[in-house]
Amino acid sequence: MRITCPHCGNRSLDEFIYLGDATVQRPDPARPDALAAFVDYVYQRENPVGRHRELWYHNAGCHAWLVVTRDVRTHEIFGVEPAKEVSLSEKTTGAAR
Amino acid sequence: MANRTLELRSAVPELSRNSRIGRQDGPARLVVSEMTGLSVVSIAARKGQSGSLQGAVKKLFKIELPNTPRRVEAGGVAFLWAGPDQWIAITDMAVHPDFDRELVAKLGKFASFTDQGDARTLIRVSGPASREVIATGVPLDLHPRAFQPDDVALTHASHIAVTIWQIDEEPTFVFAVARGFARSFWHWLSDSGSVHGIEVSPGT
Amino acid sequence: MTLPPGSSRMSKGGQIDRSTPVDFSFDGRSYQGFAGDTLASALLANNVRLIGRSFKYHRPRGLIAAGSEEPNGIVELRSDARREPNTRATMIELYQGLEAESQNRWPSLDFDLLSINSFLSPFLTAGFYYKTFMWPAALWEKLYEPIIRRAAGLGKASGLDDPDHYEKSTLFCDVLVIGSGPAGLMAARAAARSGARVVLAEEDSALGGRLLGDQRIIDGLSSAEWAAKMAAELEAEPDVRILRRTAVFGVYDGGTYGALERVSDHLAEPHHHAPRQRLWRIVAKRAVLAAVAIERPLVFGNNDRPGIMLAGAVRTYLHRFGVASGSNAIVFVNNDDAASTVSELAAAGVSVAALVDPRPVVSPVVEALAKKAGIRVISGGSVERALGSKSVSGAEIRLQDGNLLTLPCDLIAMSGGWNPSVHLTTHLNGRPVWNSSIAAFVPGAVPPGMAVAGSASGALSLADAITMGDSLGQDAAIAAGFKAKKSALPSVEPESTAIQPLWRVVNARGKSFVDFQNDVSVLDIELAEREGFRSVEHLKRYTTLGMATDQGKTANVNGLALMAEFAAKAIENVGTTVMRPPFSPVAIGAFGGHHREKNFKPTRLPPSHEWAVEQGAVFVEAGYWLRAQYYPKPGEKDWLETVTREVKAARSSVGVCDVSTLGKIDIQGADAAEFLERVYINGWKNLAIGRARYGLMLREDGIVMDDGTTTRLGEDHFFMTTTTANAAKVMQHLEFCHQWLWPDLDVQMISATEQWAQFSLAGPHVRDVLLKLVDPEHDISNAAFPYMAAGEITVCGGTRARLYRLSFSGELAFEIGVPSRHGDALIRKIMEAGAEYGITPYGTEALGVMRIEKGHVAGAELNGISTAGDLGLGRMMSIKKDYIGRVLAGRPALVDPNRPVVVGFRPVDRKRRIRAGAHFIRQGLEAAAQNDEGYMTSVAFSPSIGHWIGLGFLARGPERMGEIIRACDPIRGEEYLVEVVSPIFYDPEGEKLRG
Amino acid sequence: MANDRFSIFKVISEALGGHKGWQPMWREPEPKPAYDVIIVGGGGHGLAAAYYLAKVYGVKNIAVVEKGWIGSGNVGRNTTIIRSNYLLPGNVPFYELSMKLWEGLEQDFNYNAMISQRGIINLFHSDAQRDAYVRRGNAMRLHGVDAELLDAAGVKKHLPFLNFTNNRFPIQGGLRQARGGTVRHDAVAWGYARGADAQGVDIIQSCEVTGIRTEKGRAVGIETTRGYIGAKKIGLACAGNSSRVASMAGLNLPIESHVLQAFVSEGIKPFIDTVVTFGAGHFYISQSDKGGLVFGGDLDGYNSYAQRGNLPTIEDVCEGGMALMPAIGRVRLLRHWGGIMDMSMDGSPIIDKTPIDGLYLNAGWCYGGFKATPASGFCFAHLLAKDEMHSVGTAYRLDRFATGHTIDEKGVGAQPNLH
């Protein structure tokens, strides 16, 4: 598999480290049901068969965290975005992940 | 040079003397030397200050800080892209012994600076076999159509994180390798290059 | 050049170099071949037909094929450490002095005792072992399994370290062409002419594919000449890279192809410094698969006898190697393509007894060929049984009228049609589809970026291969961003590839083999069907069809067709098994490349390494780092004596240790303090500039991730240290927190681990030593530079340095950092300066002893399941802020008061050695799991206290001070009593480190 | 029921009679309208559960539905190792029960699965690793499980050709479990299927579940490609696809699907007489009774349902192999493939009821599933029959992530690809 880092270009899989689902969002620790929300955030996964938005770290490259959209059946990659920009825009627009 | 009162030591003793390694007949097809005597500083733009930093650098050094993996050089200082809003600056230690402080003084408002002059070993590789040898460790397309002088890449070589850039069309490549790994890097390079014959010249 | 008597070498012809004879041996006998031969062709030329024994029945076997699909002709090549079991004779280029031996036979190939299995074959059908060997139970392990295992495998591995080396490399191109037959050559030329960067990979040593083994005319040239001309043309293109002896074995995601180049396998040994083989990772924008098709054997009685060969292979041996595979042939084929074998054999002077064609109506092509060559055609007939044992001696042919005809022969050239090599198209889960017009599977969905040309696509004629290769080569270049240029196509005469499938000869007598190497016969497939193993995967797993070293290249389609017949299904409804890479087997060493033995992983050396080597240090791996473990002195009897001396020196005078391996991260920015607040459990905003603080960070699940000290160098500048082991993980975590969780913070992080050579100096005389090094303008007195102070200084007359008043050892201690290039010089200066105090270098072992004496937790306690509370650090958890891990650290199980907590232990018998890994059981209770209350994590002999001490986790530990419990170490056969004590054994008030 | 009892007489008489008399190993029944228990997933765990449910717990009306062919999941594509050398109290008794069941399995289901207790050795390369293995070995011993500590010389006796002299991470010793070993993996599925069929269990292949029907919070049946089938109880044992099937009932699980690759070499004469794992790289290896070296390493590391992996992991595994035993350099890799792992968040399995009445879950086996097959089947059968967990598996609760009672053998936290 090859991932096109938006900063570094098209690179081999072994430059990257995988974290997991990018659609879960760290809950507000002050909310009353924080414990349940954190359990969901840390442990529960949709694990879809198909498109998956996921976090990767360009470990052997620019050290950017990336949001990769990928089909987990075919490994086809539809898009790669810098996680920082995704996060910032989600924070401004308040969009749910 | 008041701040370098202690002796400097290379991380790769094998690169400190002239030698011919591997295949002995014919001209060496790989030429390797360590680049010593350099100051290297990491630059990371402060939040929202990337534009101001670039402006200030332009004013001071007459160059545009690259926003893509490229290297620019002016007045004896080279700036290499090192990640989003990050660069490394390289210059002659004899001229800029406290380069990090110099940069903090001039640009401290816009960026954070970290001295890296001792963190990395810089190794220059050239010769007709250089692309072929490098390909045994570096998973990048270094064909002249794909990688040209002043192109920079952050990647790995034989399991070791490196920054690689090309400085001329001969071609000559430079590797910046974490100092602790430099000797393993050399082991790989010399193993892979032996079949072509390697000429080692001491650091410059 | 005269040929030895008995040779099957033709007097002329072939692409071998008759001026270069090559000596070789097989099973100890010497033979001669020519440069350009394979071991297979040279053996055939020397009339050696019996080459191996089959896996299960040990039946005599000879060559069937001429390429990598060969199932029978496999040998052990070379000797001693270079011995290569299961090597296909068809793929070995002959070199001077080559040694090969047959395998899977005893005592000899000619007389193999295990061929008795052939007579036992009624018992050895598919799956026989699942039904047997169960009675009595005890005998399986003692008797049956050892026997089965002894029969396992084919060749023998050397058992010695592989002396050759392997290389791995990455290659990028616009268009990868796989295979250099007519389609591949045309595709490569078309793509190259457009300006694309082309890689042409060919498994064989020469370009041409079947052009080399067939006799066709292209543009007036012989097919081999035309291939050579095309090869020369491609060689001249600057951006074409031709990889000969290179098999593309696998397709991976993202346009990545795995290929193996046999760099030196055609030599007796690799040239000095050269690799034996090279593993290529080819990254291609587009690929054209132009692999050959593989000819199918026909399934009839005793179809495995040596001398029964694929018709295409017979032609290849004839035309490429100048070898006649026999002197009196029967050609048994069901398709027009293979019929040319009769005329070509006849032209070469081989007598052909008959052309047997099961098709009831003779095709005009076959008729014409046979007539021209004057050969008898038996249409509507089939070979029911081959005669002979170690070599075929005749054939029983059932004629269309029902009569049986026996003809003598020493060669049966068979062809059941061609199977396109669809393997690579299936590696990304594409499934091939059935094409009834050629009676074979052709590619279905292909990997992204791949196109399939020529016979691999099912277009079996030469003309189609040329046209398709050219057009797909152009398409590939266009898709890769180039403009195609049209070229004139070479001209060839038309041909017929008509076929009528024959999956087995129904009334065959004798075993009819489908998978030769694994001895899977028609009967096995029938039995599998009867027992319900009807899915193709069940068929494969139950009968082992297609699981031999050839992965069923000649067997699978016949096997599927037979299952279809027995299950009364259409072949396309039986399905195909998934074809797994590699296409042809690849030496494990090639995947390892440079990274074996010592070079498995890079070694990371701290700045004082050379110096430590000079001191005679013993080193230890700490992750990738190599650290000095201890520094033995002459006369010391063991490590314990050395370490004890080192600890005593540090405690009584002064010691020095390289601690450069700690992770170091420069954290800057206006929000740096806020950032630390969020990643550490304790507070940071109130840390003064010039002060350091111990910090603990959790994972989000509330478990401890790492610890270390962080220093505030400026208002917006912190310098974090991490444990050696977790440096990279912490950096990654911090980047995650910043880039993903809190991108709005103004914080920058740079790893500075390698920038600083850092030495810990500890002991009562430490300040005396430092005063000689630290430049006088810096006051390092206790008042000016108290415990946990930190700052930038200069040493040795102006070298920039950082000084930290930190103590892992519990002594009065400082850590001093200089830029790494000075690390070597500084350790020498430190040793000089400390000489008068007997300064003693100490390694990780003494460091460990001192930290255990102080009750500091380290790797053994930060084990990934301990909480801050488990480490006795629960009070550090701030209640004034949120931080990573806070919420989940509050889960019931993580705050359970019964959790094991770190406490100290000392042996009741003070002379006794205690050991890590022992479990704690209350006195009076059984040493059993239900009474397990924790375990010892770290132990040391404490020179300061004079006996062994330990740290460990114990349930409710802090409440149990003074309790005597059992330390049970059954795996070492030990058990002893220990007393629960405070984990701080040494200087509990911390007076020394503050002094 | 369809199949025969295998005996030496039967084998001889069939051999002499041309094998015409063998019966199918299992029937191919049409699904009935309803069953007492339906098990979704005809893999090792599902078939074993059905077998024990019928044989031990006396449940008679059982179906196993399988979307493809039985044994097509992880039981058909693993590296065949069995062992019970676990560390944590939640795991050891369970895997030891499994080991005990393995030891009597062939006689129990009258099918030779070639269980071979040739031993397993986990190598260690540092003092810290040794201490961790001692702790583990002691935990095993305290649970009554066999464990033996070897020094380097002791390892050399079992594995003389390992690289003892020039290893990047020198071999200091190993933890050995003599009762560990290998099993012919496909035969496990076939043996259980045959045994279950003999007990009247309907094994329905090519029957894919497309929905789980619930009424008033209770699962009442499954929609399949072969129609609706009613059930009093439904057990999910479809590792690799647990999330997908559970989502049909609206459940999110603490599970990700990952790809794990496995490798087999060409057959060679017996060479490696035990199972060995490299403690400083991602590599473990054994040799099959047919002669192939069977080896593997770590996960590729990303979510995947593709049943195939990529080159970096293949290289990583072989680098580990060449670091540990450079004697295999010239042995050729014959095949590599990938399986879908049901990776749970703490690396340990789940056998529990779900929030939906009548729906039971057996999932999250990571790559420990094969060795667990008998115990998993047994415990799942117990749960399905008695509505309560068998005593050896009580830690495998679904709510343990909320309570913090996770079972994290590796201590890496909630990141499935690190387990």
pLDDT of residue B3: 67
Lowest mean pLDDT among C16-20, C106-110, C440-444, D366-370: C106-110
Interatomic CA distance for residues C63 and C313, integer angstroms: 9
Q: How confident is the model at residue B1 (pLDDT cuts 50, 70, 90)?
A: very low
The D residues from 320 to 359 touching A (CB cutoff 8 Å) are 345
pLDDT of residue D2: 53
When divided into structural domains, chain A yields a total of 1
Q: Are C384 and C508 in contact (CB under 8 A)?
A: yes
| Contact: D329, C587; criterion CB under 8 Å | yes
Question: What tokens does B200 get?
Answer: 């080692």
Question: What tokens does C347 get?
Answer: 């032209």
B137 and B187 within one domain: yes
| Contact: C85, D106; criterion CB under 8 Å | no
What is the CB neighbour count within 10 angstroms for residue C618? 14
Domain at C663-751, CATH homologous superfamily: Aminomethyltransferase beta-barrel domains (3.30.70.1400)
Given B99, B115, B131, the domain boundary residue is B115
| Contact: C937, D335; criterion CB under 8 Å | no
> Is B141 within a domain?
yes
Q: Which of B23, B85, B118 to mutate to test the interface with C (most CBs of C within 10 A)?
A: B118
C666 touches chain B (CB under 8 A): yes
pLDDT over 50 at C1, yes or no: no
C11 touches chain A (CB under 8 A): no
pLDDT over 80 at C569, yes or no: yes
Q: How far is B103 from chain C (nearest CA, A)?
A: 15
Assess if CATH 3.40.1160.10 describes domain C629-660+755-850: no
B143 touches chain A (CB under 8 A): no
> Is B106 within a domain?
yes
Question: Could you give the C-alpha distances from C27 to C61, C102, C109, C162, C940, in angstroms and in order?
Answer: 15, 6, 8, 23, 61
Reading chain D (419 residues) residue by residue, the pLDDT tens digits are 556 788 888 888 888 888 888 899 999 999 999 999 999 999 999 999 999 999 999 999 999 999 999 999 899 989 999 999 999 999 999 999 999 999 999 999 999 999 999 999 999 999 999 999 999 999 999 999 999 999 999 999 999 999 999 999 999 999 999 999 999 999 999 999 999 999 999 999 999 999 999 999 999 999 999 999 999 999 999 999 999 999 999 999 999 999 999 999 999 999 999 999 999 999 999 999 899 999 999 999 999 999 999 999 999 999 999 999 999 999 999 999 999 999 999 999 999 999 999 999 999 999 989 999 999 999 999 999 999 999 999 999 999 999 999 999 999 999 999 99
B104 and B32 within one domain: no
What is the CB neighbour count within 10 angstroms for residue C139? 12
Q: Which domains does chain D have, with CATH numbers?
A: 8-84+86-96+185-255+346-418 (3.50.50.60)
> Is B9 within a domain?
no
What is the CB neighbour count within 10 angstroms for residue C107? 8
Q: How confident is the model at residue C578 (pLDDT cuts 50, 70, 90)?
A: confident
Q: Are C301 and C508 in contact (CB under 8 A)?
A: yes
pLDDT of residue B204: 64
* Extents of the domains making up chain C: 17-116, 166-293+420-479, 629-660+755-850, 663-751, 897-995
Can you give the residue range of the structural domain that contains B194?
A: 14-36+119-202
> Is A16 within a domain?
yes
| Contact: C256, A2; criterion CB under 8 Å | yes
Chain C adjacent subunits, 3+ CB pairs under 8 A: A, B, D
At residue B169, the 3 state secondary structure works out as coil
B155 and B88 within one domain: no
Fold that domain C17-116 belongs to in CATH: Ubiquitin-like (UB roll) (3.10.20)
Q: Per-residue pLDDT averaged across C944-953, rounded? A: 97
> Is A33 within a domain?
no
| Contact: A57, C882; criterion CB under 8 Å | no
Q: How far is C475 from chain A (nearest CA, A)?
A: 22
pLDDT of residue C2: 42
Interatomic CA distance for residues D170 and C504, integer angstroms: 56
C428 touches chain A (CB under 8 A): yes
B68 and B27 within one domain: no
Q: Is C665 left (phi over 0), alpha (psi -120 to 50) or beta?
A: beta
> Is B5 within a domain?
no
Question: What tokens does D358 get?
Answer: 């009548």
| Contact: A1, C744; criterion CB under 8 Å | no
At residue B43, the 3 state secondary structure works out as strand
pLDDT of residue C142: 80
Interface contacts A/C by beta carbons within 8 Å: 73
Question: Could you give the C-alpha distances from B125 to B143, B166, B170, B202, in angstroms and in order?
Answer: 15, 9, 10, 12
Chain C environment of D128 (Cβ under 8 Å): 859-860
How does the average pLDDT of chain C come out, rounded? 95
Q: Per-residue pLDDT averaged across B10-29, rounded? A: 95
pLDDT tens track for B65-106: 999 999 999 999 999 999 999 999 999 999 999 999 999 999
The A residues from 39 to 68 touching B (CB cutoff 8 Å) are 60-64
Given B115, B150, B178, the domain boundary residue is B115
User: Which residues does residue C29 pair with via DSSP β-bridges, in sequence order?
Assistant: C26
| Contact: A17, D301; criterion CB under 8 Å | yes
Can you give the residue range of the structural domain that contains A60?
A: 2-25+41-93
pLDDT of residue C486: 86
Q: How confident is the model at residue C6 (pLDDT cuts 50, 70, 90)?
A: low
Question: Could you give the C-alpha distances from C908 to C912, C947, C948, C982, in angstroms and in order?
Answer: 8, 10, 10, 15
| Contact: D404, C148; criterion CB under 8 Å | no
Interatomic CA distance for residues C543 and D44, integer angstroms: 20
- Among residues C330, C310, C382, the alpha carbon closest in space to that of C554 is found at C310
Q: Which of A15, A23, A26 to mutate to test the interface with C (most CBs of C within 10 A)?
A: A26
CATH number of the domain at C166-293+420-479, out of 3.90.800.10, 3.30.870.10, 3.40.366.10, 3.50.50.60? 3.50.50.60
| Contact: D332, C588; criterion CB under 8 Å | yes
pLDDT tens track for C682-728: 999 999 999 999 999 999 999 999 999 999 999 999 999 999 999 99
Domain at C897-995, CATH homologous superfamily: Aminomethyltransferase beta-barrel domains (2.40.30.110)
Half-sphere exposure of C903 (CA within 13 A, CB side): 26
Interatomic CA distance for residues C927 and C937, integer angstroms: 19
B191 and B94 within one domain: no
CA B56 to chain centre: 24
Q: Which residue has the tokens 């095309």?
A: C230
CATH number, residue A20: 3.30.2270.10
C670 touches chain B (CB under 8 A): yes
Q: Which residue of D has its CA nearest to A74?
A: D306
> Is A50 within a domain?
yes
CATH number, residue B174: 3.30.1360.120
pLDDT above 90 coverage of chain C, percent: 90
Given B66, B82, B115, the domain boundary residue is B115
> Is B126 within a domain?
yes
B127 and B94 within one domain: no
Q: Which residue of B has its CA nearest to A84?
A: B84
When divided into structural domains, chain B yields a total of 2
| Contact: B155, A82; criterion CB under 8 Å | no
> Is A48 within a domain?
yes
The C residues from 380 to 399 touching D (CB cutoff 8 Å) are none
CATH number, residue B88: 3.30.70.1520
Chain C environment of B30 (Cβ under 8 Å): none
> Is A30 within a domain?
no
pLDDT tens track for C383-419: 999 999 999 999 999 999 999 999 999 999 999 999 9
B111 and B127 within one domain: no
D417 touches chain A (CB under 8 A): yes
pLDDT of residue C3: 46
Interatomic CA distance for residues C323 and C313, integer angstroms: 11
The C residues from 321 to 360 touching D (CB cutoff 8 Å) are none
Task: Give this complex's ipTM.
Answer: 0.97
pLDDT tens track for C41-79: 999 999 999 999 999 999 999 999 999 999 999 999 999
Interatomic CA distance for residues C279 and D182, integer angstroms: 31
pLDDT of residue C5: 56
| Contact: C607, B179; criterion CB under 8 Å | yes
Question: Could you give the C-alpha distances from C708 to A3, C659, C726, C737, D203, in angstroms and in order?
Answer: 34, 13, 10, 18, 58
Chain A adjacent subunits, 3+ CB pairs under 8 A: B, C, D
Q: Per-residue pLDDT averaged across C899-916, rounded? A: 98
> Is B6 within a domain?
no
Interface contacts B/C by beta carbons within 8 Å: 162
| Contact: B5, C798; criterion CB under 8 Å | yes
pLDDT tens track for C896-906: 999 999 999 99
